[in-house]
C-alpha cells in the first residue's frame, strides 16, 4: 500500500474535548509513519480543504500535540459551513477531491456532529465514483449528544458535568439566600432539539435540590410549570429551574427566539432564562436570579469529565485504526457494556446509518410530569460525568496550547466559496 | 474570665468560601473550649439572632465542620437584612443584646461585607452602653472586593479565578468559530459598583485574547466601545467583552435597564450582556454569543482559588484569636507584603474605619482608554487567583456538606420582624 497523507478537520460548535480527539488522531497517525505520511488539518474546518488552506501538523512538537488533550475549543479552527447536497453543489465535492488528490490525501477524518457525518459520507461516496478512493472516517463530536448508535458523544460528558456541578453549586447558593431574597434560580443551557444537557442538571436533585427541568422534548405548559415551581418553593423554600435553549411552546416557537439565524438557518437562541424567570416573578412574586451559561458550558475544560476526555481520545485513535484496517464511511462509537461498574468498548457504525438521524431523550428518561429525570436516565448519565481530568495551571490559569498552525504550500488555483 | 458562648452569622450574598471562614471560626473556638463554650450560628444570618433561631454548631461532627472548608454558599443560611440606624430602630439592636444575654453570648462574629461591618460596629457600641459588653468581630467577606484597608476580601479571589478561567476558555471557543460564525462573545459578571470582578477577565489577555472590559468605574461610551471592538475584530478576527452588571451611562442608568425585553414585553433585569451584544450586532454586524454568569460565578467552589480558601479560613481563625486577645469592634485583614513571591500577613483594622467605606478600582489599574487592565492591576490580581483547591468528588459531583442545623431551645418571647 503506497503511503498516503491524512486530512483532519473540526466541524461545527467546538467542545472542551474535541482537541483530545485531534490528539488521538495525530498521535496515532504519528505512530504509523509507515502507512500514514503527513497529517494535514483544515484551517477552520472543511473550509480549509475547499480553499486549500491546509495546516501541516507535522510542524508541531510532540509536546504541543499532547497538550491538545487538555485544551478546549478547536485548535485548527472550526466552521459552520454545511456542504449542500451533491446535486445542488457538486462543484464543492469535486474541489475537495481535487485538493485531496493534489496533496496525496488518502484518509479523511472529519470530527463533528450529524451534519458533518452526512458530509463525510457523501465525500466517501463521491470519491469512489470519481475514481479517487478515499477512506472517510467520521469522528463523533457534539455536546448535544444527539448522534445515533453511539452510547454518547464526546463533548457531552464534560458539558453534563459542568451543568450538574454548576446547578448543584448555584442551588446551594439560592438555598442560603431564600429566606429573605432569591427563591428561584433559573439557568439556561444548550441543546436546541435534544434535552440531554438539561437532563444533567437533574443530577443535582440527588443532593436534596428541588430542580425543575424544561426539556425541548416536552412542549412548554406555563400553568403546569408555575404550579410545579410553586409546589417546590412551598416545600423547600426555593427551587432551581434548568431550561434548555430549545424549550418551546405548542406552536413550535422557542421561549428564547431572538430572530437571528445561524449559517445553517437555525434560529439563534439564548434568552429563555430571563423569559422563564420573569414568568415566575409575575405569577408567584418570587425574587429570582438567572444565568445563561452559553459558551462557558461547552468550553469548560477546567471541569471536564475524565470519562469524556478519555473517550474523545480513544475515538480519535480508533478512527485512525479503522482507516488502517481498510474501513471506509464509518464512525467509531462508544458501546456501553454496563452501567455499574461503567464498562464500554469502542465499536463502529456505518455512516449510512448515522447521517441525518437525531437521537432525542427517550420518554422514559423523563418523569411523567415532564419536569425531571428518571432513575433510568440517572443510570445513563452518571458514568459519563465520572472523574476529573484537570489541566495544568500556571499563575492561576490553565495552561492551554495555541498551535503554530503552519500553512502547507498551495498547489492549485484559488477556489471561490459561494 | 467566665466562659462565654459565641454567636456567628453569615450576611448578604454568599460566596464559594464563606463557609471556609465559618470553618475557621468554629474549629478555632473548639480548640479553645476553656474560653469559648458553645458556638451558636444564626439561622439565616442576623435574622436568626433577632428571632432567637439559633443553631447549635456543637451538634455537628468535626468531619462536618471540616467539610465546610470546601463547601460553597452559606451553610447556616444568610440574609439580605440591613439593620436600620440606631435611632430608627433601637428595638432591633436591643433585641439582639437580649438574645445574646439570654444565651450567655460574649462573642459576636459577623461574616459579611460593608453593611454588616457597619451593623457589627453598632452592635458593639450599643452593647457597651447597655451594660452587656460584647466582643464584636467582623469577618470580611464579599466577592465585590470593596472593603477598605484589607488587601482583598475572601470570596473575591475565587470569583476572579472563575471569571479569568471562563473568559480564557470561552475566548478560545470564539477564536475557533470566528471564521464563519461568532466573532464577538460577551460575558456579564457581577460587581454593581466596583469593577474588581470584571477586571479579572482581563487576565485572559495575557494569553493572546483580545478582551474589552466595561467597568462600572468608567462611564459607558457607545461610540468608543464599538470602535474598540471593531479594531480588535479587524486585528484578531474576534474579541471577548467582559461587562460588569454595574456598567452605566453618563446619566447613571445601567446598561442592563435599557434594552432587551422578553416575549411578554417585560424589561429583562440584569441583562447588560444581551444589550451590549445587540449593540455590536446592530453597528458592526458581527454574529455574537453572550453569557450571564450570575450565581454560577460566586458559587463555583469547584474552581476556587487556593489562596482565597486559605485566607478565608485564616481570617475566620484570626477573628476568634482577636476576640480571645480581648479585641472588640475590629476586623482581621489581609496585609500584602509582596507581589512576587506573594506574601501576606493577617492584620487588624478598627471597624470605625471599615464601616460604610467602599473601595473602587484605582484609576491606574485601568488602561487609559478605559477598556483594559494595567500591569499594576495584573500584579495585584495575579496572586489572588493562585492555586487550585479542589473539593472531593463522588459519582462525578463534588462532595458538599449539608449540616444538620439543630435549633437551640428558645428562652425568650417571640419577636416580630418589621
Work out how many CB contacts closer than 8 A connect A with B. Answer: 247
Residues B93-118 have a mean pLDDT of: 95
Q: Which residues of chain A neighbour B291 with C-beta distances below 8 Å? A: 291-296
How far apart CA A5 and CA A323 sit, in angstroms, is 12
A109 has a pLDDT exceeding 80: yes
Contact A295 B291 (CB under 8 A): yes
Restricting to A residues 193-222, those with a Cβ less than 8 Å away from any Cβ of B are 203-204, 206-208
- Chain A hits for B293, Cβ within 8 Å: 291, 296
Q: Reading across the β-sheet that carries A239-244, which strands appear in turn?
A: A211-214, A239-244, A184-189, A288-292, B288-292, B184-189, B239-244, B211-214
pLDDT band at residue A306, thresholds of 50, 70 and 90? Answer: very high
- Asked if residue B1 has pLDDT above 70, the reply is no
Note the pLDDT of residue A68: 98
Which is nearest to A79 in space by CA: B280, B182, B167? B182
Candidate from A47, A172, A301 with C-beta closest to B169: A301
Q: What is the pLDDT of residues A354-383, one digit of tens each?
A: 988 899 999 999 999 999 999 999 999 999
Taking CB atoms and an 8 Å cutoff, what residues of chain A touch B169? 16, 72-73, 295-296, 299-302, 398, 400
Per-residue HEC secondary structure of B143-209 comes to CCCCCCCCCCCCCHHHHHHHHHHHHHHHHHHHHHHCCCCCCEEEEEECCCCCCHHHHHHHHHHHHCC
Instruction: Answer yes or no: do A390 and B387 touch at CB < 8 A.
Output: no
In chain A, which residues have their Cβ closer than 8 Å to the Cβ of B177?
A: 13-14, 74, 78-80
Q: Min CA distance, A10 vs chain B (Å)? A: 9
Q: What is the pLDDT of residue A256?
A: 80
Predicted confidence (pLDDT) at residue B345 exceeds the cutoff of 90: yes
Whether A354 has its CB under 8 Å from any CB of chain B: the answer is no
Calculate mean pLDDT across residues A190-214: 95
Any chain A CB within 8 A of the CB of B305? yes
Separation CA B231–CA B372 (nearest Å): 14
List, for residues B354-404, the tens digit of each pLDDT value: 988 899 999 999 999 999 999 999 999 999 999 999 999 999 999 999 999
Distances in Å between the Cα of B378 and the Cα atoms of A235, A265, B342, B367 are: 46, 42, 13, 11
Q: Does the pLDDT value for residue A261 go beyond 50?
A: no
**Residue-wise pLDDT tens digits, B233-274:** 999 999 999 999 999 999 998 988 754 444 444 444 458 999
| Cβ atoms of A112 and A138 closer than 8 Å | yes
- Distance between CA atoms of residues B148 and B114, nearest Å: 9
Residue B159 to residue B385: CA distance in whole angstroms: 9
pLDDT at A1: 52
B380 part of contact set with chain A, CB < 8 Å:
no
pLDDT of residue B128: 86
List the catalytic residues of A.
144
Q: Out of A312-316, B145-149, B203-207, B345-349, pick the least confident.
A: B203-207
- Rounded average pLDDT over A274-293: 94
Q: How do beta strands B393-394 and B397-398 pair? A: antiparallel
Q: What is the pLDDT of residue A260?
A: 45
Whole-prediction pTM: 0.96
CB of B72 less than 8 A from some CB of A: yes
Catalytic residues of B: 144
**For residues A207 and B380, what is the distance between their CA atoms, to the nearest angstrom?**
38
Reported residue count of chain B is 418
B285 touches chain A (CB under 8 A): no
Beta-carbon separation of B185 and A295 below 8 A: yes
* Model confidence pLDDT, tens digit, residues B273-323: 999 999 999 999 999 999 999 999 999 999 999 999 999 999 999 999 999
Cα maximum dimension of chain A: 73
Contact across the interface for A292 and B273, Cβ inside 8 Å: yes
Q: Is B71 on the interface with A (CB under 8 A)?
A: yes
pLDDT averaged over chain B? 94
Can you list the positions of beta strands (E) in B57-174? 105-112, 135-140
Residues 112-131 of B with CB under 8 A from A: none
Decide if A279 touches B, using CB distance below 8 A: yes
Of the residues A253, A395, A397, the best mutation for testing chain B's interface (the one with the most B CB atoms within 10 Å of its CB) is A397
Secondary structure letter of residue A98 according to DSSP: H
pLDDT for position A90: 87
Q: Provide the pLDDT for residue A356.
A: 83
A270, B290: Cβ pair inside 8 Å?
yes
ipTM confidence score: 0.96
- Flag if B398 and A77 touch (Cβ within 8 Å): no
CA distance A141 to chain B (A): 15
| Interface residue of A295, A309, A382 to substitute, partner B, most B CBs within 10 Å | A295
- Which whole-number Å values give the CA distances from B350 to A151, B21, B78, in the listed order? 61, 19, 24
pLDDT tens digit string along B66-91? 999 999 999 999 998 888 888 888 89
Across B399-416, average pLDDT: 97
Q: Which residues, including other chains, have CB under 8 Å from residue B352's CB and lie 6 or more apart?
A: B121, B329
> Looking at residue B346, what is its pLDDT?
98
Beta-carbon separation of B262 and A274 below 8 A: yes
pLDDT band at A259 (very low <50, low <70, confident <90, very high): very low
pLDDT at A398: 98
The answer to whether B282 contacts chain A (CB < 8 Å) is no
Contact assignment for A170 to B296 by CB distance below 8 Å: yes
What mean pLDDT comes out for the span A226-237?
Answer: 98
* Cβ-contact B32, B320 below 8 angstroms: yes
What percent of chain A stands above pLDDT 90? 87
Report the pLDDT value the prediction gives residue A402, as an integer from 0 to 100.
Answer: 97
CB contact under 8 A, B180 and A263: yes
CA dihedral B97, B103, B106, B111 (to 10 degrees): -80
Q: What is the mean pLDDT of residues B129-156?
A: 96
Phi first, then psi: give them for residue A119, nearest 5 degrees.
-60, -45
Locate the chain B residue with the closest alpha carbon to A163.
B296
- Once rounded to an integer, what is the mean pLDDT over residues B95-113? 97
Residue A265 pLDDT > 70: no
pLDDT score of A270: 54
Interface touch B295/A173, C-beta < 8 Å: yes
* Interface contact B262, partner A, CB < 8 A: yes
Residue numbers of B between 321 and 350 with CB closer than 8 Å to A:
none
Amino acid at each position: 500500500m503506497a503511503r498516503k497523507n491524512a486530512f483532519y478537520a473540526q466541524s461545527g460548535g467546538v467542545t472542551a474535548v474535541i482537541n483530545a480527539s485531534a490528539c488521538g488522531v495525530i498521535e496515532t497517525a504519528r505512530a504509523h509513519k509507515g502507512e500514514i505520511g503527513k497529517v494535514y488539518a483544515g484551517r477552520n474546518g472543511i473550509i480549509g480543504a475547499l480553499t486549500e488552506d491546509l495546516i501541516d501538523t507535522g510542524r508541531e512538537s510532540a509536546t504541543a500535540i499532547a497538550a491538545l488533550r487538555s485544551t478546549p475549543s478547536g485548535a485548527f479552527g472550526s466552521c459552520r459551513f454545511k456542504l449542500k447536497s451533491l446535486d445542488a453543489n457538486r462543484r464543492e465535492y469535486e474541489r475537495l477531491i481535487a485538493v485531496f488528490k493534489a496533496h496525496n490525501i488518502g484518509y479523511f477524518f472529519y470530527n463533528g456532529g450529524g451534519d458533518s457525518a452526512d458530509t463525510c459520507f457523501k465525500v466517501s461516496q463521491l470519491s469512489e465514483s470519481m475514481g479517487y478512493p478515499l477512506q472517510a472516517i467520521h469522528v463523533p463530536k457534539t455536546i448535544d449528544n444527539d448522534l445515533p448508535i453511539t452510547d454518547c458523544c464526546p463533548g457531552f460528558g464534560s458539558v453534563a458535568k459542568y451543568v450538574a456541578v454548576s446547578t448543584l453549586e448555584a442551588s446551594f447558593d439560592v438555598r442560603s439566600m431564600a429566606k429573605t431574597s432569591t427563591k428561584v434560580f433559573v439557568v439556561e443551557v444548550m441543546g436546541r432539539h435534544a434535552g440531554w444537557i438539561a437532563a444533567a442538571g437533574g443530577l443535582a436533585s440527588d443532593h436534596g435540590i428541588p430542580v425543575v427541568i424544561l426539556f425541548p422534548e416536552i412542549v412548554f405548559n406555563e400553568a403546569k410549570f408555575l404550579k410545579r415551581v410553586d409546589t417546590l418553593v412551598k416545600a423547600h423554600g426555593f427551587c432551581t429551574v434548568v431550561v434548555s435553549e430549545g424549550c418551546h411552546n405548542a406552536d413550535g416557537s422557542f421561549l428564547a427566539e431572538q430572530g437571528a439565524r445561524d449559517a445553517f438557518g437555525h434560529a439563534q437562541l439564548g434568552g429563555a432564562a430571563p423569559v422563564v424567570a420573569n414568568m415566575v416573578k409575575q405569577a408567584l412574586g418570587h425574587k429570582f436570579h438567572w444565568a445563561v451559561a452559553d459558551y462557558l458550558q461547552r468550553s469548560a475544560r477546567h471541569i471536564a469529565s475524565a470519562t469524556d476526555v478519555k473517550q474523545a481520545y480513544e475515538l480519535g485513535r480508533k478512527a485512525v485504526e479503522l482507516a488502517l484496517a481498510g474501513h471506509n464511511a464509518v464512525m467509531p462509537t462508544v458501546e456501553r457494556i454496563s452501567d455499574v461498574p461503567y464498562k464500554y468498548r469502542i465499536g463502529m457504525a456505518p455512516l449510512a446509518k448515522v447521517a441525518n438521524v437525531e437521537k432525542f431523550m427517550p420518554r422514559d428518561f423523563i418523569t411523567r410530569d415532564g419536569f425531571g429525570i428518571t432513575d433510568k436516565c440517572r443510570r445513563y448519565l452518571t458514568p459519563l460525568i465520572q472523574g476529573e481530568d484537570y489541566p495544568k495551571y500556571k499563575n492561576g490559569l490553565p495552561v492551554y496550547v495555541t498551535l503554530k498552525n503552519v500553512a502547507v504550500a498551495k498547489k492549485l488555483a484559488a477556489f471561490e466559496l459561494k
